[in-house]
Amino acid sequence: MKYYSLQHNSPKVSFAQAVIKGIAPDKGLYFPEQITPLSPLFFDAIETMNNNTIAYEAIKQFVGNEIPEKDLKSILTEVLSFDFPIVELNENLATLELFHGPTMAFKDLGARFMAQCLSYFIKDQKQEITVLVATSGDTGGAVAKGFLGVKGINVVILYPSGKVSAIQEKQLTTLGNNITALEVEGTFDDCQAMVKQAFLDTEIQSHRQLTSANSINVARWLPQLLYYFFAYKQLKHKNKKFVFSVPSGNFGNICAGIVAKKLGLPINHFIAATNSNDTVPQFLKTNNYIPKPSVATISNAMDVGDPSNFIRILNLYHQDVAKLKQEFSSYSFDDTLTKKAIHNLFSTYKYIADPHGAIGYLGLQHHHLSKEHYGVFLETAHPIKFKDIVEQTLNTTIAIPIQIQEVLHKTKKSIVINNYADLKHYLCS
C-alpha cells in the first residue's frame, strides 16, 4: 500500500513512512492509494468473528506487508483490550460507547495503535522521535497514555489554556516520563497551526525528527474505522438502514467511518454533528468552505474552526459535493441545545451522556429518521470528563471511574508558551 499527499506535490510513501513523517513535505495529508472493498462473505460471517479477527481483516490492506501478519495481530490484541458496546435506547435508537479505554475517550484506540506501529517501525533506529500533537481535549490524554514509556519516543502536547476540562488537563499534564505538556495562551486552532508550522521548519527538523499523533497521522486516523465494524457486528440482525451520527471536531472519526463504508460496510448515511463551530454545516448550505476562528463551547473536543480531515472526506467523494450530500449531512447545535439533549436523554432513557454524545443524539433528532432506519450516535467520552457540566445539568452525581481516580490527585506540570517562537525555542533547545 502506498500513500500520496492530498496536495499532490510530494512523492508517494509507504505506510511506515507516512506514520513516521505524519504529514507530507508539501503540507498535504497522506491518503491511501486505493481502498479495496472486503468480500461479501466477510460481512455475511461478521457476527461469528471476534473483534481481533474483524480488525485484522479490515485494517490489513492499509498496513500492507510492512508489519508481518503475526506482529500485526499481536499489535491489535494489545490495542483492543477493552469493549465497544452498543447500548440500545429504543427499537430504532442506540449509542455506541467508545469510552471504555484507559483514558475514557474514543481516541484511545487510534493513539494505542499508532504508538504500537511507530514503536515497531523505529525499533532499530538510533535517533529518537518526537511526537508533536495539538489537542482540544481528549487527544492529549489518549496520546499521552498510549505513548507513555515507549522507548525512543518523546511526546510534546500543545493544549489551549483554560479550554479543556479539568480532568482532561490532568490526564495530559500529570504523567511525566517521556510526556511534556505545553500550555498555549490561545485556541486549539492556534495549537494546530503551530504544530503544522513546526513540521515545515527546517531548523527544528535539524534538531528533532518529528511526527504527529493528531488524526492527520494515518495510524491515528484509520483505526477508527473499526468502530463501525464493531457496531455493525452487534446490530446486523436488525436488518435496518443504519445511520451514524458522529460528534465531529477535526472530522477524523467520521472520515474513518466513510472509509469503512467504502470497504463495503452497509451504512446508509452519516451525520456530522457539530457544536457552534459550524464550518462544515455552513459549507453544505453554501458550497463555500470558509474556515473561521474556533469558539469555546461545553463540548470542547469539537472546538475546531478549520477541521483538517474534511479534505479527506471530499477526496473520498472525488470532490463531488452533490454525491457527498446524498450520504452525508452536517448540523450545528449550541450549548443550550446540548444541555437540553443531556437532560432529555436522562429523563427519557435514564442515560447519562457527555456533551459530545448529546450533540450526536441531536444530529439524529434533527435528521428525522423513518421507521426503516436505525440511528446510532457515538458517545465519544465518559460523562465524568465533563463532571461539572453534566452534574449541574442533571442535578445528580456521577461516580468517578478508577481510570479517572488515578489522575485526580496528581500534580499538574506544564510549560506555558505564548506563540510559535516559544514552541520553536523549546523544540530546538
* Model pLDDT, residue 38: 98
Angle between the N-to-C axes of helices 355-367 and 335-349, in degrees from 0 to 180, rounded to the nearest 10? 90
Q: Supply the pLDDT for residue 254.
A: 98
Query: Which CATH code, of 3.90.1570.10, 3.50.50.60, 3.40.50.1100, 3.30.40.230, is assigned to 84-103+221-400?
Result: 3.40.50.1100
Q: What is the dihedral sign for C-alpha 422, 423, 428, 429?
A: positive
Alpha helices (runs of H) in 350-401, residue ranges in sequence order: 355-367, 387-394
E strands, 6-144, are 13-14, 30-32, 86-90, 93-97, 129-134
Q: Report the run of H or E that residue 116 belongs to, with start and end.
A: helix 107-121
Judge contact between 329 and 270, C-beta under 8 A: yes
User: In Å, how far are 44, 99, 271, 300, 318 from 376, measured between CA atoms?
Assistant: 21, 15, 10, 22, 26
Q: Which residues pair with 207 in a beta bridge?
A: none
What cell was used for 124? 532499530
Q: What are the residues whose beta carbons fall under 8 Å from the beta carbon of 332, sequence distance 6 or more? A: 274, 275, 276, 277, 278, 281
pLDDT in tens, the chain (429 residues): 999 999 999 999 999 999 998 889 998 999 999 999 999 999 999 999 999 999 999 999 999 999 999 999 999 999 999 999 999 999 999 999 999 999 999 999 999 999 999 999 988 777 789 999 998 777 888 989 999 988 889 999 999 999 888 888 999 999 989 999 999 999 888 998 999 899 889 899 888 889 888 888 999 999 999 999 999 999 999 999 999 999 999 999 999 999 999 999 999 999 999 999 999 999 999 999 999 988 999 998 899 999 999 999 999 999 999 999 999 999 999 999 999 999 999 999 999 999 999 999 999 999 989 999 999 999 999 999 899 999 999 999 999 998 888 888 899 999 999 999 999 999 998
pTM of the predicted model as reported, rounded to 2 decimal places: 0.92
Residues involved in catalysis: 107
> How much is the pLDDT for 161?
93
Q: What is the structure's pLDDT at 196?
A: 86
What are the residue boundaries of the structural domains of the chain, listed by start?
84-103+221-400
C-alpha cell at 327: 450520504
